[in-house]
Each structure stands twice: as C-alpha cells, then as structure tokens.
C-alpha cells in the first residue's frame, strides 16, 4: 500500500484516561490538573491534533462526567470504561467508536503533558517506513522502576514487554522501558480481543498485544527517544510541578525565539494559552495567564499579572498592574499599581495611572484617569479627564447602575457620581462634588457645601485657649499669634 507511506494515510488516536490518579490526593480528576495553564489531558489532545487524525477517542472512567464536560467542545469523542480492568481493556472500549475505521491507531496516555507532537510524528514515520505491525515508543532510564521493560532480539526487534512486577532480576536490569504509547496497524482491535488477564495483577495488559502481532507475522519495533521526561506521566503534585517547570521553560524559549524579550526569563510565567508578538518586552516577575494576547512593541512592567486580556500594539503596562478580562487598544497605558477587570476597555491612547480600578467600563480615545479612581459600569467619552479620587457609585446595594460621561468632560478631583447618571459632552464637575443629577452638555456642576470664611476666628478662639495648654503644643498657631503681638 503506497498510501501508507504518505502523511495522507488514515490515522486515529486513542487516549487512555480512565485511571484514578490516587496519588494526586485530589477531588479533581487527575486529567484535569493543570500544567502551564492547561489540564494534563489538553496537552495530550493538542499533541494528538497536530497529527491531523480522523478521530481522537478519549477513554474515560474515573471522573468521566467532569472530564467529558470539560472537553465537550474539544472535537474529540469519548468512550467509557466503567471498570478499570487494565490498559488492553481500556483500549478495547474505543473499538465501537472506531467501527469501520481502517488505518493506523496511535495510543497515548492522558497524563503525559510533555510528549511533543514532533516525537509522535517521528514515531509514525518510523513505523511506516519500517512497515512495522506495531511500534512502541521507548526511552532509557538508569532505573525504570515500575515500568514495563523492553526485550529485544539480536535484530533489535521487540519480542516482549515484561511488566516490572513480573520481571526477573535480570530483566529488571534492562534500562529501556515502555512508555505505553504505541503506533498500531489497523488490526489492533482484533488482536486485543484475545488478550486475557492471566497475570499476577489480574489486569488486561495492552503490552500483551506485542506477541499477538508477532504471531500474525508482523514486526514489533521500538522507537527509542532520548528524553525520557517526554514519556513520563504526572502522577502526583511533585511530578505535576516538574512537568510545569519543563513546559514553562519550553514556552519561554519558544517566545524568545519568536522575538520576544524576557528579562530574567525564569521569573516570568507564561501559560501555554498565551500569544505574544515580536518586540514585546516583558520585565521580571510577570505572570501571563489564560487567553491573553499581546501585540508588537508592548511593554509589560515588572510583577504585573495579566489574564484573559487582549493588548494591542504599543501598549504599556507599568509595574504591579493586574489586568483580568481587559482590552487595551494601541498606545494605551495602565499602571503602576492599576487594577482593571471585568470587561474594561481602554481605547487608543487612553492613560490610566496608579491606584485606579476600572471594571466593565469603556474609556474612549485619549481619555485620562491618572490617579486613585474607581470607574465601574461606565462609558467615558473621548479626551475626557477623570480627576484623582473620582468614584462612580454604581451599586445601590441591590442593583448596578450605569454612568455615561460624554466627550471632552472634566471631572474635578474627589468627585462622586451617583449612578445612573449622564454627564453631557464638554461638561465640568467641580472638584469634591457629589453628583446626584444629570449634568447638561457644556455646564459646570458644583455640588458641595458652599465655603464660608469666618474672619478673626483664630485670634478670638485661640489666644485664651493657648494659655491653658502646655507650651510646645499647637506651635503653628502660637507662632502666628505671637507674630501679631
């Protein structure tokens, strides 16, 4: 079959993910534990997708409802394994879903987030070029404790995989171990049917398929890779942390190669879900999470935390800023110490300074909120100025209300705007006002106690009073009064 040598050959991937993962000691199914911002299983699904298979079947068991719900839109199909009777049994659960499929089948585990797509491609090419019946992906470890050992013959073909539990002392010295990842020819399901559980663990071992292939006259080969870590599962929190470290290193290297500057790279955490453009500069201690994208020439200041946000080109985020679900257009800047969240939108050239919190608000082009403000559920028109200490009082204890501020508006410092309120274009609000009525276009609103000055007050009240208090107290007024004598 010449087609079996081309990349167009039919392919399906079966991911075994029904195991319990007891060592996580968690309520959360093991496959949903995250490394570099994605669940373990998602990394494996992504590697599988890179092979362009016709179908990806995920075999679920423990935590199946949660896992299937999480990956409902991942373009994979599920097969349930109600009892965890072993890897061959798990594999067989995928058969009904692949009824009538005629092509190669790649088997993966759901808990190996470090497996690279390029390694899988390598295994597949190897399998095809050698015309093997099955290919097992292997690696070497000084002491592959717990893993199945690879027994080869003089030609290098694999004759058996022996589980650690069943291995003789001599076999235990073998360094080459079975990753549990395979490329199978299409007869795998038929061959797997005859696998029994006649072993010490009373489990159906998928490794037993190897002898079935050989009995059928097919070659069983091993594709041995250098980096054992790629094949290892994350079974407890320690291994989870180790996998996270490896993945985050890969992600940093990837973005640096793509033209992103990272200052002190190891201090920067970038989720696998983040997208960066060339000439982005990231300072130490930054954390980028979720579906965040950052455009060209943007600078992210030290110790900022950004999640699920879209930053255009030329955006500046100054140190210690926290952004969550935010859109920043070209030329806008925020921070230091700003907190933007819940759908905040900064249009072009908007400036947001220190200790400003913005929630679910749109600041239109060129608007400035330089210091100490809370803007919630508001629109602020273009080229407006929000004074220090301005607050949109958006919550009445039951409902949230909207504030609409027009373009070219000047809000004086320390004003409170009690929503719902409309402030017209070009209007002014005098500093310290509490705005409880709308302000018409072009008007100035002054809403504060009127100032009274009481002449001679200091002299009248303080000259006598100071005779009663200790010298040294109220020094300022004493000095002033003495100057008058």
Q: Which of 216, 53, 208, 221 has the alpha carbon at shortest distance from 131? A: 221
x/- letters, 220..249, toward ligand UD1 (CB under 6 A):
-------------x----------------
By CB under 6 A, which span of 109-117, 126-134, 268-276, 358-366 interacts with ligand UD1? 109-117
Total site size for ligand UD1, rule CB under 6 A? 28
39 sits near ligand UD1 (criterion: CB under 6 A)? no
Output 89 or 329, the one with its CB closest to ligand UD1: 89
Q: Binder to ligand UD1 among 4, 84, 365, 416 (CB under 6 A)?
A: 84
By CB under 6 A, which span of 185-193, 202-210, 269-277, 390-398 interacts with ligand UD1? 202-210
Burial tier of 447 (Cβ tally within 10 Å: 0-12, 13-18, 19+) = middle
User: Which 114-173 residues touch ligand UD1, going by CB under 6 A?
Assistant: 147-148, 161, 163
Contacts of 379 (CB under 8 A, 6+ apart): 361, 362, 364, 402, 403, 404, 405
Label the pairing between strands 281-282 and 299-300: parallel
Q: How far is the CB of 66 from ligand UD1 (least distance, A)?
A: 14
Output 21 or 295, the one with its CB closest to ligand UD1: 21
What is the residue-wise DSSP string for 435-475? Answer: E-S-B-TT-EE--SPPP---TTHHHHHHHHHHHHSPTTTTH
Angle between helices 237-257 and 40-49 (to 10 degrees): 50
Find out whether 369 and 356 touch, Cβ atoms under 8 Å.
yes
Output 84 or 186, the one with its CB closest to ligand UD1: 84
By CB under 6 A, which span of 83-91, 249-257, 329-337, 388-396 interacts with ligand UD1? 83-91
Q: Is 209 helix (H, G, I), strand (E, B) or coil?
A: helix
What is the rounded CA–CA span in Å between residue 409 and residue 209?
Answer: 75
What is the rounded CA–CA span in Å between residue 457 and residue 448?
Answer: 23
By CB under 6 A, which span of 67-75, 87-95, 219-227, 240-248 interacts with ligand UD1? 87-95
> Tokens for 263?
């200052």
Q: Output Rg (C-alpha) for the chain, integer angstroms.
A: 33
Q: Binder to ligand UD1 among 110, 133, 381, 387 (CB under 6 A)?
A: 110
113 sits near ligand UD1 (criterion: CB under 6 A)? no
85 sits near ligand UD1 (criterion: CB under 6 A)? yes
Catalytic residue among 320, 371, 401, 402, which?
A: 371
Output 26 or 84, the one with its CB closest to ligand UD1: 84
Q: Binder to ligand UD1 among 12, 13, 14, 18 (CB under 6 A)?
A: 18
Q: Binder to ligand UD1 among 42, 104, 111, 230 (CB under 6 A)?
A: 111
Please identify which residue in the block is written with the tokens 């926290």. 322
408 sits near ligand UD1 (criterion: CB under 6 A)? no
180 sits near ligand UD1 (criterion: CB under 6 A)? yes
Output 40 or 276, the one with its CB closest to ligand UD1: 40
17 sits near ligand UD1 (criterion: CB under 6 A)? yes
Output 145 or 452, the one with its CB closest to ligand UD1: 145
DSSP 229: G
Label the pairing between strands 421-423 and 416-418: unpaired
> Tokens for 421?
């309120």
Q: Is 283 helix (H, G, I), strand (E, B) or coil?
A: coil
By CB under 6 A, which span of 42-50, 64-72, 81-89, 317-325 interacts with ligand UD1? 81-89
Contacts of 347 (CB under 8 A, 6+ apart): 329, 332, 362, 363, 364, 365, 366, 367, 382
By CB under 6 A, which span of 11-19, 376-384, 394-402, 464-472 interacts with ligand UD1? 11-19
Q: Which of 303, 256, 250, 245 has the alpha carbon at shortest distance from 279? A: 256
User: Which 264-303 residues touch ligand UD1, going by CB under 6 A?
Assistant: none
Is residue 329 part of the annotated active site? The answer reads no
Q: Binder to ligand UD1 among 39, 86, 301, 331 (CB under 6 A)?
A: 86
What is the rounded CA–CA span in Å between residue 389 and residue 148?
Answer: 66
Q: How far is the CB of 353 from ligand UD1 (least distance, A)?
A: 50
Residues annotated as catalytic are 371
Residues that bind ligand UD1 (CB under 6 A): 16-19, 59, 61, 81, 84-87, 89-90, 109-111, 147-148, 161, 163, 177-180, 205-207, 233
């Amino acid at each position: 079959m010449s087609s079996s040598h081309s990349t167009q050959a039919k392919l399906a991937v079966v991911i075994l993910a029904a195991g319990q993962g007891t060592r996580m000691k968690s309520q959360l199914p093991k496959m949903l534990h995250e490394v570099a911002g994605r669940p373990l299983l998602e990394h494996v699904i992504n590697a599988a997708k890179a092979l362009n298979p016709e179908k990806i079947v995920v075999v679920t068991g423990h935590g199946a409802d949660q896992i299937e719900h999480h990956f409902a839109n991942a373009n994979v199909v599920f097969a349930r394994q109600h009892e965890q009777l072993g890897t061959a049994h798990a594999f067989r659960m995928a058969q009904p879903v692949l009824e009538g499929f005629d092509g190669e089948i790649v088997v993966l585990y759901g808990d190996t987030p470090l497996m690279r797509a390029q390694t899988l491609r390598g295994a597949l090419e190897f399998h095809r070029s050698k015309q093997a019946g099955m290919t097992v992906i292997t690696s070497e470890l000084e002491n592959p404790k717990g893993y199945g050992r690879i027994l080869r013959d003089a030609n290098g073909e694999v004759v058996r995989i022996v589980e650690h539990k069943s291995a003789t002392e001599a076999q235990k010295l073998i360094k080459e171990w079975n990753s549990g990842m395979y490329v199978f020819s299409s007869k795998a399901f038929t061959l797997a049917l005859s696998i029994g559980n006649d072993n010490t663990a009373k489990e159906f071992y998928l490794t037993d398929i190897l002898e079935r292939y050989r009995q059928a006259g097919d070659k069983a080969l091993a594709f041995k890779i250098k980096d054992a870590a790629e094949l290892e599962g994350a079974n407890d929190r320690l291994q989870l942390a180790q996998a996270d470290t490896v993945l985050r290193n890969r992600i940093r290297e990837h973005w640096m190669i793509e033209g992103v500057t990272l200052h002190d790279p190891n201090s920067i955490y970038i989720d696998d879900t983040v997208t960066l453009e060339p000439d982005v500069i990231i300072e130490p201690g930054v954390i980028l999470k979720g579906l965040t994208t950052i455009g060209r020439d943007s600078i992210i200041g030290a110790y900022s935390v950004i999640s699920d946000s879209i930053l255009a080109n030329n955006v500046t985020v100054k140190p210690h800023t926290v952004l969550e679900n935010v859109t920043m257009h070209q030329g806008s800047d925020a921070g230091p110490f700003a907190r933007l969240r819940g759908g905040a939108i900064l249009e072009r050239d908007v400036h947001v300074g220190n200790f400003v919190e913005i929630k679910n608000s749109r600041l239109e082009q060129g608007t400035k909120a330089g210091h100490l403000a809370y803007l919630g559920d508001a629109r602020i028109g273009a080229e407006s100025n929000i004074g220090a200490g301005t607050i949109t009082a958006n919550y009445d204890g039951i409902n949230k209300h909207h504030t609409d501020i027009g373009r070219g508006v000047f809000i004086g410092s320390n004003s409170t705007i009690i929503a719902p309120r409309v402030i017209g274009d070009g209007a002014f609000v005098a500093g310290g006002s509490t705005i409880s009525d709308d302000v018409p276009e072009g008007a100035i609103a002054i809403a504060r106690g009127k100032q009274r000055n009481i002449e001679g007050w200091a002299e009248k009240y303080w000259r006598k009073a100071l005779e009663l208090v200790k010298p040294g107290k109220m020094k300022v007024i004493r000095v002033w009064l003495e100057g008058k004598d």
